[in-house]
Amino acid sequence: MSVFMDLNVLFSADRSRMQSLVETAAHLGFSTVAINYVFEPTTKKKQEVPSPVPISELIGQLPVVQGRSRPIKVLNRLTVVMSEASHFRPNATEYRAFDLLAIQPTTEKLFHTTCMLCDVDIICISVTEKLPFFFKRAPINGAIDRGVVFEVSYASALRDSTMRRYTIANAVCLMESCKGKNVIVSSAAEKALELRGPYDIVNLGALFGLSDADSKEAVSSTCRAVLLHAETRKTASGIVYTRISQQEALQDCVGSRFFHIHESDHSTGKG
């Protein structure tokens, strides 16, 4: 039996709205959802990366997933809307508070950089405007080789007919380049009415140019691969961070010993 996931439900400070979103997702059969905090830095003033609200504070009691005996799993996700390369800061300590890390690049150059270099789990494809560039095979293959996935969301298509055209056109353009590999389909829902069940999303995948098998994977096994990728990424960055901290501590220790020895030499008249 497939385990279905929606890795993008938009954060709201309204607790009742978040409770309703999570309850509806569980009722529709999703075993895991990720609450998405969207961070859009600007060049005019410095902005702080948001901190995720503890799940226990945001949602009272986790509902049981329809057809299963266990409660839904709720994760936190950060999406950085990147209009300049400096907007994404590798190894930023603020990112560690989130289970999943995503980037939405706004230019072709930034898309290429994100695909080839950025240590993230998800690359978001804009669905609210016509893409200002065409997808090229090389960066897409680079991202696939690194285990990064591409995300298409559908809630905007439910709100507006123009958005629907952009969503379908941009998704089809992506599928032509990636051949349906490493793609997830998420809701980006702001409210419960915008959520659709897993099998409705599988049918929607056909409009995006996905096969039935790829559509099903886009809400199940590929999502699971994202979680595994995130675990590996966080473990690796944690090791790097720990090593750097240890090296700094060692340097401080050696330095303090060095100065202590020299101070002792001077006090005893040596040197």
Report yes or no on 41 lying in a domain: no
In this prediction, residues 17-37 reach a mean pLDDT of: 96
Per-residue pLDDT tens over the stretch 61-75: 899 999 888 999 999
Residue 180 pLDDT class (50, 70, 90 cuts): confident
CA distance to 84, 110, 137, per residue, from 41 (Å): 9, 15, 28
pLDDT for 262 equals 47
Q: Kindly report the pTM of this predicted structure.
A: 0.84
pLDDT for 245 equals 47
Percent of the chain clearing pLDDT 90 (strictly above): 65
Per-residue pLDDT tens over the stretch 129-159: 888 888 889 999 999 999 999 999 999 999 9
Closest CA to 224 of 11, 16, 22, 34: 34
Helix (H, G, I), strand (E, B) or coil at 128: coil
Q: Which residue has the tokens 């991202």?
A: 143
Report yes or no on 211 lying in a domain: yes
Per-residue pLDDT tens over the stretch 214-269: 999 999 999 999 999 999 988 865 554 444 445 555 555 444 443 344 444 555 55
Report yes or no on 13 lying in a domain: no
Radius of gyration of the chain (CA): 22
Number of domains in the chain: 1
pLDDT for 234 equals 83
In this prediction, residues 187-193 reach a mean pLDDT of: 95
Helix (H, G, I), strand (E, B) or coil at 25: helix
CATH at 83: 3.20.20.140
Helix (H, G, I), strand (E, B) or coil at 82: strand
Which burial class, exposed, middle or buried, applies to 245 when counting CB atoms under 10 A from its CB (0-12, 13-18, 19+)? exposed
* Range(s) of the domain holding residue 133: 76-234
61: left (phi over 0), alpha (psi -120 to 50) or beta: beta
Report yes or no on 58 lying in a domain: no
- Rounded CA separation 183/66 (Å): 25
In this prediction, residues 162-172 reach a mean pLDDT of: 92
Report yes or no on 165 lying in a domain: yes
Report yes or no on 252 lying in a domain: no
Closest CA to 5 of 201, 251, 263, 193: 201
Report yes or no on 262 lying in a domain: no
Report yes or no on 30 lying in a domain: no
